[in-house]
A = this chain, B = another copy of it.
Amino acid sequence: MSNGWMISDNSLDIKELLKNESIFNISNGYIGIRGNFEEKYPDDYPTVRGSYINALYEEVSIPYGEKAYAFPEAMQKIVNIIDAQDINIIVNGEGFSLFEGTVKSFQRYLDMKEGCYVREIYWVSPLGKELKLKISRIASLKYLELFAINYEIEKVNFDEDITIISSINGDVTNFTDDNDPRVAAGHSHILSVKSVELEDEIMQIASETHNSKNLVTVTTKHSLNVANDISFEKTDTSIKAIIKTAPGKAIINFTKYNVYTDSRRYKNPLKDGFKIVRELSKMTFEELKKLQSDFLKEFWSIANISIGGEDKLQQGLRYNLYELLQSVGKDTISNISAKGLSGEGYEGHYFWDTEIYILPFFTLCCPKLAKNLLKYRYTILDSARLRAREMGHKKGAAYPWRTIVGGECSSYFPAGTAQYHINADIAYSYVQYYLATGDFDFIKEFGVEVIFETARIWLEIGHYHEGFFKIDDVTGPDEYTAIINNNYYTNVMAKHNLKWAVRLYNELLLKDEELLNELCEKIALTKEEVETFEKASDKMYLPYDEELKINAQDDSFLSKAIWDFENTPKENYPLLLHYHPLTIYRYQVLKQADTVLAHFLLEDEASLETIKNSYDYYEKLTTHDSSLSCAVYSIMASKIGYIDKAYDYFMETALLDLEDTHGNTKDGVHMANMGGTWMSIVYGFAGLRIKEDHISLNPKLPKHWSELKFSFKYKGFVIAVKVNKDKTEVKVQKPCSINLKINGRLYSFENNTSIEILN
């Protein structure tokens, strides 16, 4: 066990179990398995037993009391798939359970270097049989279909035989809660078993969703190091292997290889399931673990951040990055859902969280994975075009607020479809990727079309008024204010979207006119239309309050009454669960960073003074009821120099799930916040920014940190940064033409590989 790389929680408290099911999920971006106990809990314990495949969805109808035009008829939701976790150990008629007999010791931990989740148990049965168990789980990062469970069983005070009962079960349901808008409502039975097969001691269940006809299979093979007698029992929805091991003192080593396939990725998911499990089960669990740790070694070589003087934090931080890796879709049909693959909160949907909170990490640490996430948006461009037409827009694409395969899945448009800014967020993330990687080939193939089509929407929904280009009736990031005019965030991001559409048009004209012509023909884009982009960008109205000297969140925000924070009891947060939206919309109160987020993403659009004033003004009004808030406040506090605040906000993000500060980790971990943690350090304390022709750093360490080290990739080079009280060191592998500003001064790596600056 290596210090700082382990997440551990040995509680068997009923209140902690649900949360820990999320925390100890093991996932690989394709499959995700919640940290349920193989042997289950007692019947009356709350549990959400869940296994998921990224982007494997059911289509369900959306009910409305009063339905209006172009409200989405149906939506996609993630499916709780066939459960392969069940393993029960029977000793002399007694079943192993942590809730019976005596637990002499119990620890469970996630090892983030090994990529393995382990339970180690010393158990005495009610009749006195003593067992030592080590139960390990891997969701393979190399072979994405594989979820493997390994049992090491030691008989301490007996040598009778042990029976292992291992099953797969297709009788599963999704979790619902009608009263929490952050969890799914209705539709819990969405998957039906199609076949239950047994072939050469390999078990397989295939199930299908009712409407979307997505097929999923799990194919399971067992391996055991001791003599045994195996038999099987089948029902209509499950299949069970009953493995009687021979008596004797030998330590039993048992591995259950579960291979998931699905019809969105595999032509013959049933056949492929058998084939793949046969292949992969040739490897021992130890061999699989080796591959897993090799994979992670490479990941951590760039992703790891080390903080001197903060062990607990170090751990929390790594957990967040580990979860990001676990959750990220590794093909272009999947993305990162709001809860990763750790739970059903937000129904497995992809939001702007990916672009604004998560892509920065991947863009700078794993650009190959970032590329997939961006490509995903390209694959759903047609759906976004269709949605734009539905919304009455003649041109362009309107990206859905929440989706799996591209259709709008939000049934509450004031905090959904009205958030047009997602268009600009997607464009922004392409531009950031381009600036960080310089990968024009990718941008021209998969980015430019997206940026053109997203830009077009602003012309559709905006108009000129008193000489300015204005955008009415949108909702910004802050969901506690809805359907307003000239949201600063939306307008400034739209300006960026339009500006880059023009730039990329011109760049493509120079570099690949043929491709440009093809594209323009395909989407009927003319030079004249591009000129309208330029004009709208130039004339974009950015609300500014002369008296407060801040950018106004929107046209009317500053004239509203201020929320009565003083008389709002603590238990009334998050406000959305205690007040009607109208009541909330009526006041100056923010769920999350809005103008302050815009000032982070596009800091050059406002003066430092305005940014500081805005921060001071909005901070007092922000509840941080969204997990997307604290990271941004941390980053901006760092920028402004409020280093203690920056630290406090950062701490909120770093341990949000591990300490369940939002009280809903049971529904899954908060991916955007996890990306935000990384940003709080790299963009916050280190002050990194990717500018058009350089990168800049403005390091400011919290006072009790002795050192901060991190790396990132920039235009193909690995850049390693080390900051301590006295100095900042930046290293590259070899001399290169990278320009780096530290604290506003420009340095070059033309002739050197290391820059060292005294703070």
Chain A residues within 8 Å of B, Cβ to Cβ = 62-71, 75, 178-179, 181, 185-186, 390-392, 410-414, 416-418, 461, 463, 465-466, 470, 472-473, 482-483, 485, 555-556, 559-561, 576-583, 585-586
Contacts and interface: CB of A to CB of B under 8 A. Distances in A.
A590 to B, nearest CB: 15
Given A392-B580, A579-B392, A67 B483 contact: no
B582 A413 contact: yes
Contacts of A391: 580, 582-583
A64 B65 contact: yes
Contacts of A392: 579-580, 583
Contacts of A410: 65-66
Residue of A485, A579, A580, A585 with highest tally of chain B CB at under 10 A:
A580
A64 B64 contact: yes
A559 B462 CA distance: 12
Contacts of A416: 66
A576 B581 CA distance: 23
Contacts of A71: 580
A333 to B, nearest CB: 24
B185 A64 contact: yes
A586 B69 contact: no
30 contacts: A63-B63, A63-B65, A64-B411, A64-B412, A65-B411, A66-B185, A66-B410, A66-B416, A67-B179, A68-B181, A68-B576, A68-B580, A68-B581, A69-B576, A69-B577, A69-B579, A69-B580, A71-B580, A417-B580, A417-B582, A463-B560, A463-B561, A466-B559, A470-B559, A472-B556, A472-B559, A472-B586, A473-B582, A473-B585, A483-B582
Majority DSSP secondary structure for residues of A touching B: loop
Given A69-B581, A472-B561, A483-B585, 13 more contacts: A63-B63, A66-B411, A68-B412, A68-B576, A69-B576, A71-B580, A391-B582, A418-B582, A470-B559, A472-B559, A473-B560, A473-B582, A485-B560
Given A473-B585, A483-B482, A586-B461, A181 B412 contact: no
A413 B69 contact: no
Contacts of A463: 560-561
A37 to B, nearest CB: 32
A61 B474 CA distance: 30
Given A63-B63, A64-B185, A65-B63, A559 B485 contact: yes
Listed from nearest, the 5 A-B pairs whose CB atoms lie closest are A65-B411, A63-B63, A463-B561, A70-B580, A62-B65
Nearest to A179: B67
